[in-house]
Chain A
Amino acid sequence: MLMCRDLAEIASDYIDGELSARQNLPVKMHLTMCQDCRTFIGNLRASTRLMQAHSSGHPDEELLRRIDARISEALKTRRTRDNDGE
């Protein structure tokens, strides 16, 4: 029988639809009976959506400027090379 801790261990797989129909059934049955696990799954889903809504991971502007500068230099070199090759 699937217990709360077992469900917590596979909660992400359940949320992402990674469980087979056979694995899904005991999870669904457990969730109909267990309010705490329903709350846990609901909150884990909310955390996932929070991550998606969060704009973290944007590099600082200074890094983007450095990359742009290096690309401009590389493009100049490439154009010169292309022109010399013509």
Chain B
Amino acid sequence: MVMSVREDSEERLITLLKAQDDQAFHEAVSTYTPGMLAVARFYLDPSTAEEVVQDCWVTVVDAIQKFEGRSGLKTWLHRIVANRCKNKLRAGKREVATDFSEVLEPELAKRFNSARRWDVPPKLRFHESADTLMENGALSDCLDKHLSALPETQRSALMLYEAHQHQSEDVCNILDVSASNLRVLLHRARQKIFLMVETFQETGEC
């Protein structure tokens, strides 16, 4: 069987992790911690999420010996975090409250008239490529600000799907949401980013 470079390097990393190689753990921590935090923040406040991720890594030192590779390493780590968060929530008898009833962001919804046509259409077309747009430091800072202001459920769904490139099915399993609810989370988060970029391009304000 021919393995891709990515699979090959993941296989190498797993072998080194099983051999308890310090450098391999260091590499894995910097590669996978952002995604693990995105999962944890779906369920918990930022500081508890950090604690859970730290605890999970300590668990991984032993658990990696039993990792059989039925899923990718990233998905396996994200599931460990999700399970631990769910246990913590059950222990605290707290539940994740999310509103899936509205598909459109209120700011966008009010731009349509009663005939369901645009009343206030999109004002500008984003001509530049994403990379060119990101070279604008102020826009990048603005995106940071808006991402951290997103409800954690939307932010985590967006991060796992876009930034960490999970398949929809994986994200649903990790976050324990239905496929239709994931679609709502993603769509609402994207609308907010769209509105933010539009305002920024039009006014220069964040």
Q: Do A and B come from one complex?
A: yes
Interface residues in chain A, defined as those with a beta carbon under 8 Å from any beta carbon in chain B: 3-6, 8-9, 11-13, 16, 18, 36-37, 39-40, 42-44, 46-54, 56-59, 63-64, 66-68, 70-72, 74-75, 78-79
* Contact across chains for A47 and B34 when beta carbons are under 8 A apart: no
Listed residue (B57, B62, B126) with the most chain A CB atoms within 10 angstroms of its CB: B126
* Contact across chains for A43 and B122 when beta carbons are under 8 A apart: yes
Interface residues in chain B, defined as those with a beta carbon under 8 Å from any beta carbon in chain A: 20, 22, 25-26, 29-30, 33-35, 37-38, 50, 53-54, 57-58, 61-62, 103-104, 108-109, 112, 115-118, 121-122, 124-126, 129-131, 133-134, 140, 143-144, 147, 158-159, 162-164, 168, 183, 186-187, 190-191, 193-194, 197-198
Point out the residue from B26, B109, B159, B190 that lies within 8 Å of A47, measured CB to CB.
B190
* Contact across chains for B29 and A12 when beta carbons are under 8 A apart: no
Query: CA of A11 to CA of B57 in the docked complex: distance in angstroms?
Result: 38
Query: If A36-B121, A43-B194 touch, does A58 touch B34 (CB 8 Å cutoff)?
Result: yes
* Contact across chains for B61 and A50 when beta carbons are under 8 A apart: no
By DSSP majority rule, is chain B's interface helix, strand, loop, or mixed?
A: helix
Residues of A within 8 A of B62 (CB): 74, 78
* Contact across chains for A46 and B122 when beta carbons are under 8 A apart: no
Query: CA of A8 to CA of B110 in the docked complex: distance in angstroms?
Result: 12
Q: A3-B115, A51-B190, A71-B57 provided; 4 other pairs, C-beta below 8 A? A: A43-B194, A46-B130, A52-B162, A56-B163
* Contact across chains for A57 and B163 when beta carbons are under 8 A apart: yes
* Contact across chains for B22 and A72 when beta carbons are under 8 A apart: yes
Chain A residue nearest in CB terms to B21? A75
* Contact across chains for B193 and A4 when beta carbons are under 8 A apart: no
Q: Name the distance in Å between A37's Cβ and chain B's nearest Cβ.
A: 8
Q: Name the distance in Å between B206's Cβ and chain A's nearest Cβ.
A: 14
Listed residue (A56, A75, A79) with the most chain B CB atoms within 10 angstroms of its CB: A56
